[in-house]
Amino acid sequence: MAYDDMHAVMCRILRYLYDCMRAGEDADLSKVSPSALGIPQPYWENIWAQMARAGYVDGVGYTDSCRLSANVVCPTATIAGVEFLQENSAMLKAAKILSEVRGFIPV
């Protein structure tokens, strides 16, 4: 299944990094690779660069030219990343519930 919504991809990456951090493990990038997420490499790099720029992750270098690109070395979630994850996870769950409820309401 492809995750083509930027917030959904960010939440998936941050959730994995946070779980690794809590378990005291290093992140295995193959679990959040472009192929694992079902997205193109340039989009994947852009997302990592955006998260680094926003302060959501550490261990990621990026270049800010005409196209953002990232060098993901040893990524970890920051407190800002965990807060983003918590806020957006709740919103994604609410959106899913609303879409399910909409199916029960006669139009």
For the segment 17-51, what is each residue's pLDDT rounded down to a tens digit?
Answer: 999 999 999 999 999 999 999 999 999 999 999 99
pLDDT value of position 1? 39
pLDDT of residue 15: 94
Cα–Cα distance for residue pair 65/43, rounded to 1 Å: 15
pTM of the complete model? 0.76
Averaged pLDDT, 7-26: 94
Residues whose CB falls within 8 Å of the CB of residue 53, separated by 6 or more in sequence, listed in order: 62, 64
